[in-house]
Amino acid sequence: MPDYATDADSLLNAVGWESADVIGISFGGMVAQELALRYPHRVERLVLACTSSGGAGGSSYPLHELVNLPIEEVARRQITVTDTRWKEEAWLSSRTTQFQQLVKLTLAASQEGANEPSRQVGRLRQLEARAVHDTYNRLSQLHIPVYICGGHHDGISPPANLEAIHKQIPGSYLEFFKGGHGFLYQDPQAFKRIIAFLQNKFD
């Protein structure tokens, strides 16, 4: 994960930005944590969305354990952990057609860019990085405005993980929205609240 943070620092150098507001979503939230900790002068305001700190704060769902499963089983697992309501019989029984459509969409998305050079290597390196990610004991070093947000039904970065991050970062804000790991497009209020935070218009 430190290498990803270094890449982000190099990108800021390349575009000529001394600092920036940073939004980190899921894996990007892990990178954003490392960026803010290793290069604190780079980050003015930080949004950590549906992510985890690792360590004592809890790790995200171990996606690396799905690598060798049949591709359709991977798609089904991803859907049910992305939004845990799909594990509830009452929820699923009235939405079986929708679930099958989601499986097809997930399978199709997994094939996008399949022929890109080094795509598989990059995917495995990302899985390896998230598996050992741990910023928990260092998060108290952050002294910038931080907004932590996620979905009530997220099984990849469960609410408890976000609560742990919130407890570690002095003065941070925490808010949950409707939906799961994809709460940003499931709840129209989510981006409104993020924008309000970035504009320093939080109530």
Question: Tell me, what's the pLDDT at 53?
Answer: 98
The stretches in the chain having pLDDT less than 70 are: 113-114, 203
Tell me the C-alpha distance between 47 and 145, whole Å: 9
**Is this structure's pTM higher than 0.95?**
no
Tell me the C-alpha distance between 20 and 12, whole Å: 8
Tell me the C-alpha distance between 160 and 158, whole Å: 5
Domains of the chain listed by start with CATH number: 2-60+134-198 (3.40.50.1820), 64-127 (no CATH)
Exposed, middle or buried, 37 (CB in 10 Å: 0-12/13-18/19+)?
Answer: middle
Question: Tell me, what's the pLDDT at 203?
Answer: 65
CA dihedral 30, 154, 177, 51 (to 10 degrees): 0
Closest C-alpha to 37, from 49, 25, 24: 24
Question: Tell me, what's the pLDDT at 68?
Answer: 83
CB-based contact 57:168 (threshold 8 Å):
yes
Question: Tell me, what's the pLDDT at 117?
Answer: 76
